[in-house]
Amino acid sequence: MSGRTPGVLWLLLALCAVLALASGWSAVDPPAWVPTAGAVTVTTLYAYALAFRTGGRSVLSGGLALALALCAVLSGLPVLVAGAAVGTAVLAAVLGVMATKPAARYPAVVGECLLALAVAGVGAFAVEAYQAQVSLERIGYLALGLSLLGMLGLVYRLGAGLHGLGRRGAIMLVSGLLLLFVILAYTEALSRWGSPGASRDIAEVVRDIRSSIGAVPRPLAVLLGFPALAWGVSSRARRRQGWWVCAFGTTGLTVVTVTLLDPRVSLLEAGLTVSYSAALGLVLGYLVVRADTFLTGARGRRARRLEEASAHRPEPGRMQPLL
């Protein structure tokens, strides 16, 4: 995308893919291949865009993704189709983070997070359109692990390696890993070894919340994914170590990319789940950003505005390579 034409073409193809995916959820009842073609197009475009954004060989990456997705769809082999779905989920989560730009003020931070959410949301429709026969729990954990590892690998390059972490970056990285471990370990322990009474009480609470507001927010996205993304986008306006905490934003976006795979969940409930998770996560992210600025010396409204005005660490534009 060195000129305007490739970027415009990419956006036009993405729009066509979105329309093809949306037709599968409409009353039009299109041929079965239309949403699948939209999914293959999204996989290809996301692979191309991610490679371009990270300084890789975008044409080669997009072509390889297209070939693999077509092989999966045309062969119909369950393992290949599942691989295409997982790959699309990972691409959507990582690209969502990589598409963001630094933002000093929180309204702009929210806008960047919503952009990342939109990228992951389109990916969710593409993942569902593959109609992969997979275990919801396994694909969730697999997509989460691959997207986080892939994002940390990219951030290793963007953040100038581990020696570029500094004390703040090390605290961000260790805190994110610990929080992720605690959330996943607690959830797994509760589901496997929790007492019948506790499991019943939790199920009743979940049922009451769903009946009251229509959906239940996802703890991983609320407590880690969206706060980390918001804090990272804000921190990147001041220091490149913000990329390390941005990496944990993939945990929340991965939750989004696999949210449509559960056949028991309607489109409305899935949308409400994502909306509640993002809203609560961004509120928590606001508190984290404010605590960060308070602890680093920007106390008071006037001091905060001066600090925001001076936060202009340069990064390439959204349609330019980062490396």
Q: Please indicate whether residue 194 or residue 8 has the higher confidence score (pLDDT).
A: 8
The pLDDT confidence band at residue 94, using thresholds 50, 70 and 90, is very high
Region 277-294: what's the mean pLDDT?
91
Identify whether 323 is part of a domain.
Answer: no
Residue 75: how many other CB atoms lie within 10 Å: 11
Residue 76: how many other CB atoms lie within 10 Å: 8
The pLDDT confidence band at residue 157, using thresholds 50, 70 and 90, is confident
| Predicted confidence (pLDDT) per residue in 171-216, tens digit | 767 777 888 888 877 776 666 665 666 667 677 877 888 888 988 8
Region 35-44: what's the mean pLDDT?
96
The confidence score (pLDDT) of residue 145 equals 93
Distance CA 265, CA 274 (A): 12
Identify whether 27 is part of a domain.
Answer: yes
| Predicted confidence (pLDDT) per residue in 219-267, tens digit | 899 999 999 999 999 988 887 778 888 999 999 999 999 999 988 889 9
**If we measure between CA atoms, which residue out of 50, 49, 48, 23 comes closest to residue 36?**
23
When divided into structural domains, the chain yields a total of 1
Identify whether 60 is part of a domain.
Answer: yes
The pLDDT confidence band at residue 10, using thresholds 50, 70 and 90, is very high
Does residue 286 have a pLDDT over 50?
yes
Identify whether 176 is part of a domain.
Answer: yes
The pLDDT confidence band at residue 294, using thresholds 50, 70 and 90, is confident
Least confident span in 9-23, 42-56, 173-187: 173-187
Q: Phi and psi (nearest 5°) for 321?
A: -65, 145
The confidence score (pLDDT) of residue 304 equals 54
Check if the beta carbon of residue 288 is closer than 8 Å to that of residue 227. Answer: yes
Read off the pTM: 0.88
Identify whether 317 is part of a domain.
Answer: no
How far is it between the farthest Cα atoms of the chain? 62
The pLDDT confidence band at residue 159, using thresholds 50, 70 and 90, is low
Identify whether 321 is part of a domain.
Answer: no
Identify whether 200 is part of a domain.
Answer: yes
Identify whether 320 is part of a domain.
Answer: no
Q: For residue 292, what are the domain limits?
A: 4-309
